[in-house]
Amino acid sequence: MTKLSVIGCGYLGAVHAACMAELGHEVVGLEVDPRKVALLRSGRAPFHEPGFDDLLVHALATGRLTFTTDPAAVAGAQVHFICVGTPQQDGRYAADSRTSTPPSRLSSPTSGRTTTARSSWSASRPSRSGRRSRSPRA
């Protein structure tokens, strides 16, 4: 199977990483918060999601899922999923880069690899121009 990286292991990233490992992929989760990495490595989620701890424990036990704070660990991945948070500042619709991990902070190049962004951003929220984005299904 494919070697994947998941950059950002909050709710969206950790669940995505565990599910991809369950599907048979080799997955390395990169997270800047060492406390979050320690929890995930121990098979406990830093958030509440019914049934996720069991999935996490099983995925870790297969050896296909690891978590780290070392950006060099994602260098060999064929696909990079960027799953950093999209918190909003009061009154603004732009992501607050002070609380996320933009790909530019990675020391490992992703040249020649596929990079995909996953987000909890709603397509129905107003864009920066104040107009609503169109849903891809519309």
In a domain, 136, yes or no: no
In a domain, 78, yes or no: yes
Q: Which of 31, 106, 102, 100 is nearest to 75 (CA)?
A: 106
In a domain, 122, yes or no: no
In a domain, 51, yes or no: yes
* Percent of the residues in the chain that have a pLDDT greater than 90, as a whole number: 51
CATH code for the domain in which residue 104 is found = 3.40.50.720
In a domain, 36, yes or no: yes
In a domain, 10, yes or no: yes
Q: What is the mean pLDDT of residues 9-19?
A: 94
Q: What is the pLDDT of residue 114?
A: 67
Looking at the structure of the chain, the number of domains it has is: 1
Q: Which of 25, 18, 32, 34 is nearest to 1 (CA)?
A: 25
In a domain, 103, yes or no: yes
d(CA 53, CA 113): 30
Which segments of the chain are extended strands (E)?
A: 3-7, 26-30, 65-68, 79-82, 114-117
* 85 or 60, which is more confident: 60
Give the global pTM. 0.71
